[in-house]
Amino acid sequence: MTDPSNKPSPSIVLDLILGFRRSKTMFTAVSLGVFNKLHDERRSSSQTLSRILNLNEDALTRLLDACVGLNLLRYSSENENELGFYENTPIATTYLCDSSPFNMNGYILCSNELFWGLWGKLEGAIREGTYRYQEAFGASGPEAFSSLFASKSFLMGMHGYGQITSPILVDTIDLKSFKTLVDLGGGTGHVAIAACKKYPDLNAKLVELPAASALAKEIIAKENLTDRIEVLECNFFNDELPDGDIYCLARILHDWQEDKVLELLKRIFEKLPPNGALIIAEKLLDDNKSGPYWAQMQNLNMLVIAQGMERTFKEYKELLVNKTGFESLMAAVTDSPLDFILATKPGRPNDLITVPRTIRVLEPSNAVKLREREIKRAELLKNINLAELFFKNASVGFAIADMEGDFIQVNEAFADIVGWPVDDVMQMNYKEFTRDIYAAEDQRQMENLRLNRSFGPFEKQYVHRDGHYVLVQVTLKMMEVNHQDCIWALVQRLRDPSGIASRGGQVLKYRDGRSI
C-alpha cells in the first residue's frame, strides 16, 4: 500500500479540474457583453449592470466576482455595508473589449460557440482519429471547416492573435533584402501589415478566399497600406500562385495532413525564384513531443477541428528539405504563441534569423562562430561559482519555498528586507511575514502560478521584524526540486510614496481583501 505521508501534491489535478471552469467564465462574460458594457460605463454595480444587460442580478454577481478572481475585473467599495463597483482591469480593456484594436473576442466567441462543442467530443476523436463536426453539430467536416474561415468573428479572433505574433515574426526574420512577400491564407493581413510597416521597401500580396478577402481589404485600408499590399482571391491548392521572392504560411500547415502539406510546399518551391525563401509560423513540438504545453494543446485542437497536426522541427525538416528540395532550414523557438521556420532555396545564405533574448535558434548556420562563443563563455566562467554570484551576493531578494510556504533557501538580500537573519528566516513560513489582508490575493496568485508556472510582478507589503510594513515588488516562478514543485521568488524593495507601508495601521481594502 502506498504510504499516504509520501504522496505527491494533488495541485496539478485540482488545477486541471478547474481549468475548463475558468475558460467558460471568461467566454460567458465576453458573450454576454460584460467587458464591453463596463468599458462604456467605466464602472458599474452588479445591480445596474444586471438591469442594463437584462440578466439575473445574483447570477451576474457570481460571474463578476469570479472575473475579479481571474484578474479580469476589479471590485472596490467605499463602505463595506454599501454596494461596490466593478471595472475592467487593463488586461480586459486591451484584449476583451471590442473597441480595442488588440481584442481577441472573435476567437473567444468562436471558442465558446464552436470549439467548446468539438472539445466536448474529444473521446470520439481519440477513438476514431477524426474531427467531430458531425457528432457535435450534425454538419460535415469540410462544410463546417469552410464556414469557420468565412466567419468574421473567427477571422477577427485570428487577427487578435496576429497582433501579438506578427510583430515578433518580422522582428525575428530579416526581410530587408526581399522585394515581395506573398502571404498565403493570410486572413486579415496582419503578417503583411506588420512586415510592410517595419520594412518600407517591401511590398506584399495577400492570398485569401473570397469570403475573407473583403475584411482583409478593409483592415489594410485602415492601415493606409492599400498601395503596398495587394489582396488576391484564389485557392492556393488549385489556382496559380503569384510571384514573390519570399512566401509566408502562418497557421496554415497545421490544418492539413502530410499529403496536402507536401502538395502545397512543392507548389511554392516551384514558384519561388532561385534565391527565394519560405517562412512557416507554427508552434513547434519538442522532438520527443513532451512539450511545450501550448503546442500539445494545439495538437489536440487540430484533431477535433481539422485534419492536421502540430509538428516537430525534425518533421518539418523532412518535409521541407528531404521531400521538397529546400536547401537549408532554421527555426526560432519563442515564448509567443508561434515559432518561426525559415527555409531557403539554393542561392541564398541562411543568415536571416536574428536572435532576440526570448528566442533560441535551432540549427544555426554559423557553427564556427557559435563554437567560438562557447569557448569564450567557458573561459570567462572558469572558477566562478554561479550559485554564489547570482543567489547569495545578489542585491535583490531571492527565495525558494515549497508549496506550503516553508523556505528551502533564501539569500541575504531577502532576509534583509524582512529584518531577520538568514538562519531565522529558514525556520519560518512565508505567511509569518505576509499580512492577513492578502489571504484572498495569495490564493489567487497560487491558482495563477499553478496554471501558468509564473506570476507577476506585483506589489504587496511584508511585515518587517520590528513591526513596520515594507513595500516590495514580487515575481513568482514554479520550479522543480527533486521532482517536487517549489516556488521561486524574486523580491525587490520599493519606495512607498504614500507612506502606507512605513506607517503600518489600517490599509484601505477591496472587497476581497486586496490592498488599494
Q: Which residues form the catalytic set?
A: 254
8 A C-beta contact, residue 335 and residue 312: no
Which one, of 90, 214, 207, lies nearest residue 152 by Cα?
214
Kindly provide the residue ranges of all beta strands, DSSP E only, lying in 312-435, ordered along the sequence. Answer: 328-333, 339-344, 360-362, 397-402, 407-410
Rg of the Cα atoms in the chain: 26
Please give the Cα distance from 467 to 505 (Å, whole number). Answer: 10
8 A C-beta contact, residue 353 and residue 340: yes
Please give the Cα distance from 332 to 313 (Å, whole number). Answer: 10
DSSP letter string, 413-439: HHHHHHTS-HHHHTTSBGGGGB-GGGH
DSSP 79: S
SS3 186: coil
* Residue 225, all three cell numbers: 497600406
φ, ψ for residue 498, nearest 5 deg:
-80, -20
Please give the Cα distance from 260 to 223 (Å, whole number). Answer: 34
- Measured in Å, how far apart are the chain's first and last C-alpha atoms? 50
